[in-house]
Structure 1
Amino acid sequence: MKSTRRTTALALAGALSLSATLAACSSDDGEGVTAAEAEEMSDEPVTIQVAIDEGLEEGAVEAINTRVDEFESEHPNVTVETQEYTWVGTTFAADLAGGTLPDVFTVPFTDGRGLIEREQIADISGLVAELPYSGEFNENVAVAGEAPDGGMWAVPIAAYGQGLHYNRSLFTEAGLDPDSPPTTWDEVRDAAATISEETGATGYAQMTASNTGGWILTTMVYAMGGRAETVDAETVTATIDTPEYHQALEYLQQMRWDDDSMGDEFLHDWGTSHADFGAGKIGMFISGGGDYGNLVTQNAMNPDDYGVTVLPLEGDDGAVLGGGTLAAVNAKATDAEQAAAVEWIDFFYMEKLTDPDAAVADARAVADQGQPVGAPILPVFDQATYDESQEWIADYINVPLEQFAPYSDNIYDQPLQPEPPASTQDLYAALDPVVQAVLTDENADVDALLADAEANVQNLIDRG
C-alpha cells in the first residue's frame, strides 16, 4: 500500500550509500504479501496487536492512544489493540516460542538477521518495498533488517550511538561542572570517585545482567580501540582475550576496589540501571544515547537533572558501538494482519521522520500529554534529514536541548561501529558473568576469565 501523503525527498550525504529498492515478493510462493494483494484486502476488517513499552506513565499511554485513534480514523477497517512488551535478551526466545508476542513488536538490530534466517518473523518485504522511503535508509542501518537477497523483513525505526549519561544535580553537588562532563576515561573515573565521596550516591554504575554486561563491556572495548570479533570472508573469530578487554576490566576493577565508586548493586540490567539513574541514585552510566524518553516517561527522572555526553574514544581505532531497533511483524500474522501491521509501522514509527504533517501531528499529541518532544537521537537516514524533521516540530520541542549538547554536538564526528556480527546476544551473555566476577570478587583472575570467555564465544560462533 503506497502512502498517498506528500513525501519529502530524503537527500542523503554522499558518504552514505543508499539501499537498493526492495523487490516485492508474492505470498503465493510463501514469500510474503505483495502491495497488490494488500490493496485487495484494504476493506477487510482486521484487528492487530501492537507493542508499547511496559510501565509507561499515564500521559505517555494517552499520547499513544491519541495516535491509535488517528490511525483508526484513517484506516476504518483496522482495529488496533496495544500490548505492553519490552524486549529482554534472556526471555525473548521463550516469548517468541510461546506465541505471546503482539503482531507488531520491536527487537534490537542484533536479532534481525537470525530471526529472518529462521523465518521467525513475517516476510513483509513486498509491503515495505512500496513505502516511499524504502530505498533511502543508510545502508549500514538497513542491513540489520534485510534478508540476504536485500528484502527488508524488519524496518529500522531508531538507531543509536552509545553515550555516557550523567546526573547534573549530582555533578553540581559534588562540585563538578555539569556543562563540562568528562572527555577521557581518567576523567570519568575521577568524576565517579568525587561523586561517590561527596554525595554518597553511586558514582558510576555498570550493567551486568540479561546480556547487558557483555554489551556495555564491549562498548567500552570499542571506545578503547578493540573489537569483539574479526571477519575474514566467511570466517568469524572471537577476539575477547585481548589487551582492550583486559584494559576495560582492569579499569572496572580499579573503580570498584580501589576507588569504591560503583556502589553496591552489581546485577544491574537495562531496566534497573535506568530506574536507579532516574531516581538520582547513580551519577553516570553507559547506555544508548537516545534513552531520555524512557528515563522521563518510565522512570520519572527530573529533566533538570539529565545530562548526556559522548564516550571518550582512545586508541588508534576507538569507535562508538552503534545499534538500533527494528519493527517486526509476527510470523503467525495473517496476510491481512501483515498488511495492517506495515501500515501501522509506517504511521506510528516512520511518518514522523519523513512527512512534516505527520511529524507535527505526532509532536502535538505527545506534547499535549506533557511527554518529551525533540530529544536528540541518531537518525536512521542522515543528519540533514533529521535536522529538517526537528525544524518541522520546533514549536513543540519541550526538552532542554542545551543539556544534550555534549552528545548532540559531537556524536556525528565520532566513528560509528556496528555491533559484533556473529552470535551477538550469545557473546554478550557469555560476558555477563565475567563482568559480575570482576565486580564481586576482588581477586578475580581477568586473564583466566577472558581466556575461558573467548573459547566459549568461539564455540558459539562456530555452532552458529
Structure 2
Amino acid sequence: MTRTSGTRSRRHAGIALAGVMALGLTACGGSSTGEGEGADGVVTITVNDMPPKTQPVDRKIFEEDVKAFEKANPKIKIDPREGQMDPKTFAAKLAGGQLEDVYYVYFTDPAGLIERRQGADITPYMKDIPYLDKIRPEFLDVFKGKDGKIYGLPNGQYSLGLVYNRDLFAKAGLDPDKPPTTWDEVRSAAKKISALGDGTTGYAEYSKNNQGGWHLTSWIYSMGGDVAVKDGGKWKSAIDSDAARNSLRMLHDMRWTDNSMGSRQLLEIPDVQKMMGAGKLGMYMAGPDNVPTIVKQFERACKEYGVAALPGQATLGGGNGFMFNPKASPEKIKAGLKWLQFKYLNPDRTEFNDKRIASNDVPIGLPLDRLYTDDVQAKVDAVHAKYANVPTENFRPFVERNGTLEQKVEPPNAQQIYTVLDGVMQSVLTKKDADIDQLLADASKKVDALLATVK
C-alpha cells in the first residue's frame, strides 16, 4: 500500500471495524537498547502504533489495552509511542538508539529491512504464540527472509475493490445489487452515471503522489499482467505489456471518448472521497475501509454505498504488521510478541472488541482483515456478523467474488516505481493524444533501473 494512501485511515477505522484493532503513532524520544530485564525483573518495551490525541476513541481503547496487558503481565511494561516506521527517518532512529523495540511496517517494508539486517530474527521465540499456525501463510511469508527465518508478524491486510454509490446506480437504471464484474461493465456503468448530468462523474482515478502508480499497478494486475517479474534471480520490468496497454486504453477511452471521468484530473484520495461524499461520483477503486471514512467526514449514510470486488483476474493486496529492533534483547522480543498477540492477533478477544467499539459508535461488519485460515476466520466472521451495525448486504459483491481473485502484492521498490507510473497515468488522463506505447517503453526503462538495485 502506498504510504501516501488514504487507505492508511483503515488502521483507525478499518481494522477497528473488523474487530481486530490496529491503530496509529510518532516517536517521542526515549531509546531502544539491547538491555533485558531491569533490577526488579520487569521488562520495559517501547512500541509504536498509539493513536494521536486527535483520535480520542482509538487512543482511549489503546490505553485501555495497555493497562489490561500490564495487569495480566506484571513483569512487562509498555512504553507506547505515536507514529509508524518512516523510511526517511528509520536509519537515523536506529543508529541513534531511538527506534522502538516493536515497530509498525507495511508489507512493502520487510524484505528490504531484512536484507539490511534492520529487523531482529524472532524465529526462536515463536513456538508459544497462540494461533500462529492459523495465520494465513502468505501473510507470514511477507516477514520471511531468504534464510527462511521469521522477522515479524502481520496484523492487517487489504484488497482493492470498487466503492460505488448505490443511489446513483439506481438513478442511472443500474442494479445496485449487481455491480460491474468486468472493466467493460465499469465503462458502460460510468457512461450511464455521467449521463445523469449536474456535475456527476461516472468513474474517478488517482494520479498524484504515487497514488496513480499504485492504482495503475492494480489495473495491470486485474488485466492479467505484472509490473515486475523475477528472471534468473533478478527483477526486471514487466510494464511494457498488453495488460498495461489495455489498462491505459480503457482509461483513455473513459476519459476522452466517453467523458465519464470528468475534466478535472490530477486527483488524489481526498479529492475522490470528497466527490463521493458529495454524491457526485459513481465509482472509484478502493478498499471497503473507505466507506466509513466517507460516511464520517461527509455526514452520509452507510446504506448509500456498496463495495464490489475488482473486475478482472487479480487485485492488488497489501497490509501491515510489526517487526523488532535488531538491537532488542531476547527478553524484549518475548515481551513484544506477547503484546502483539494480546493486542492484534487474538481471535478470542473478537467479541470483547466488537462490544467495546460498538458502544463507541464505530462501524462493525466491513469485509476487512481476513488474516486467519478458514476455521478460525469463520469464528471471527460469525462474531462480526453478530455485532454488525452496517448494511453487510451492500458488501456482499466484494465478499463473494474477492476470494476468487488472485491477491497480488506490490512490486519491489514499490514507491519509486509508483512515482514513475504516476507520470504515465497523468499523461493518459490529461493528454488526449498521449502515446501509450512510448509512455510504457520509457517507463519500463526507468523501472528496470529501479529494479537493478533489488537483491
Fold shared, TM-score > 0.5 on shorter chain: yes
Of the three residues 117, 120, 126, the one matched with 2:118 is: 120
Deviations 1:367-423 (A, max 9, x none): 111102232125222233212112234432222111110011222222333333x33
Of the three residues 424, 435, 438, the one matched with 2:425 is: 435
1:343 and 2:338 matched: yes
1:314-325 correspondence to structure 2 within 5 Å: 318-325=313-320
User: 3-state SS of the aligned residue for 1:253?
Assistant: helix
Deviations 1:244-283 (A, max 9, x none): 1111111111111222222355333445544554454532
Do the aligned partners of 1:379 and 1:386 also contact (CA within 8 Å) in 2? yes
Q: Which residue of 1 aligns with 2:445?
A: 455
Of the three residues 392, 414, 423, the one matched with 2:405 is: 414
Q: Say if 1:205 and 1:460 are closer, same or farther in 2 by CA, change over 3 A.
A: same
Q: Which residue of 2 aligns with 1:283?
A: 282
**C-alpha distance in structure 1 between counterparts of 2:88 and 2:131, whole Å:** 34
Question: Offset of 1:79 from its aligned partner?
Answer: 3.5
1:327 and 2:322 matched: yes
Residue type of the partner of 1:96? F
Identity %: 34
Do the aligned partners of 2:45 and 2:101 also contact (CA within 8 Å) in 1? no
Do the aligned partners of 2:305 and 2:394 also contact (CA within 8 Å) in 1? yes
Q: Which residue of 2 aligns with 1:423?
A: 413
Residue type of the partner of 2:353? D
Q: Which residue of 2 aligns with 1:48?
A: 46
User: 3-state SS of the aligned residue for 2:48?
Assistant: strand
Question: Offset of 1:334 from its aligned partner?
Answer: 6.4
Q: Say if 1:447 and 1:141 are closer, same or farther in 2 by CA, change over 3 A.
A: same
**C-alpha distance in structure 1 between counterparts of 2:228 and 2:316, whole Å:** 13
Of the three residues 147, 150, 161, the one matched with 1:152 is: 150
User: 3-state SS of the aligned residue for 1:344?
Assistant: helix
Unaligned runs of 5+ in 2: 1-32
Q: Which residue of 2 aligns with 1:9?
A: none
1:93 and 2:87 matched: yes
1:338-377 correspondence to structure 2 within 5 Å: 338-351=333-346, 353=347, 355=348, 358-377=349-368
**C-alpha distance in structure 2 between counterparts of 1:348 and 1:396, whole Å:** 20
Q: Which residue of 2 aligns with 1:206?
A: 205
**C-alpha distance in structure 2 between counterparts of 1:246 and 1:373, whole Å:** 39
Unaligned runs of 5+ in 1: 1-31
Q: Say if 1:294 and 1:382 are closer, same or farther in 2 by CA, change over 3 A.
A: farther
User: Aligned pair count?
Assistant: 416
Do the aligned partners of 2:203 and 2:283 also contact (CA within 8 Å) in 1? yes
Deviations 1:287-323 (A, max 9, x none): 235544555567765312221011221xxxx322332
Q: Which residue of 1 aligns with 2:73?
A: 75
Question: Offset of 1:449 from its aligned partner?
Answer: 1.0
Q: Say if 1:267 and 1:347 are closer, same or farther in 2 by CA, change over 3 A.
A: farther
User: 3-state SS of the aligned residue for 1:110?
Assistant: coil
**Which has the larger displacement, 114-123 or 40-49?**
40-49
TM-score, length of structure 2 as denominator length? 0.81
1:152-171 correspondence to structure 2 within 5 Å: 152-171=150-169
User: 3-state SS of the aligned residue for 2:80?
Assistant: strand
1:222-261 correspondence to structure 2 within 5 Å: 222-261=221-260
**C-alpha distance in structure 2 between counterparts of 1:295 and 1:41, whole Å:** 50
Q: Say if 1:384 and 1:211 are closer, same or farther in 2 by CA, change over 3 A.
A: farther
Q: Say if 1:153 and 1:167 are closer, same or farther in 2 by CA, change over 3 A.
A: same
User: 3-state SS of the aligned residue for 2:70?
Assistant: helix
**C-alpha distance in structure 2 between counterparts of 1:126 and 1:463, whole Å:** 31
Do the aligned partners of 2:110 and 2:143 also contact (CA within 8 Å) in 1? yes
Q: Say if 1:332 and 1:283 are closer, same or farther in 2 by CA, change over 3 A.
A: farther
Do the aligned partners of 1:55 and 1:298 also contact (CA within 8 Å) in 2? no
**C-alpha distance in structure 1 between counterparts of 2:300 and 2:68, whole Å:** 29
Q: Say if 1:168 and 1:373 are closer, same or farther in 2 by CA, change over 3 A.
A: same
**Which has the larger displacement, 261-270 or 392-401?**
261-270
**C-alpha distance in structure 1 between counterparts of 2:326 and 2:267, whole Å:** 32
Q: Which residue of 1 aligns with 2:7?
A: none
User: 3-state SS of the aligned residue for 1:350?
Assistant: coil
Residue type of the partner of 1:455? K
TM-score, length of structure 1 as denominator length? 0.79
**C-alpha distance in structure 2 between counterparts of 1:42 and 1:275, whole Å:** 54
Of the three residues 193, 196, 214, the one matched with 1:195 is: 193
Q: Say if 1:244 and 1:461 are closer, same or farther in 2 by CA, change over 3 A.
A: same
**Which has the larger displacement, 429-438 or 232-241?**
232-241
**Which has the larger displacement, 105-114 or 442-451?**
105-114
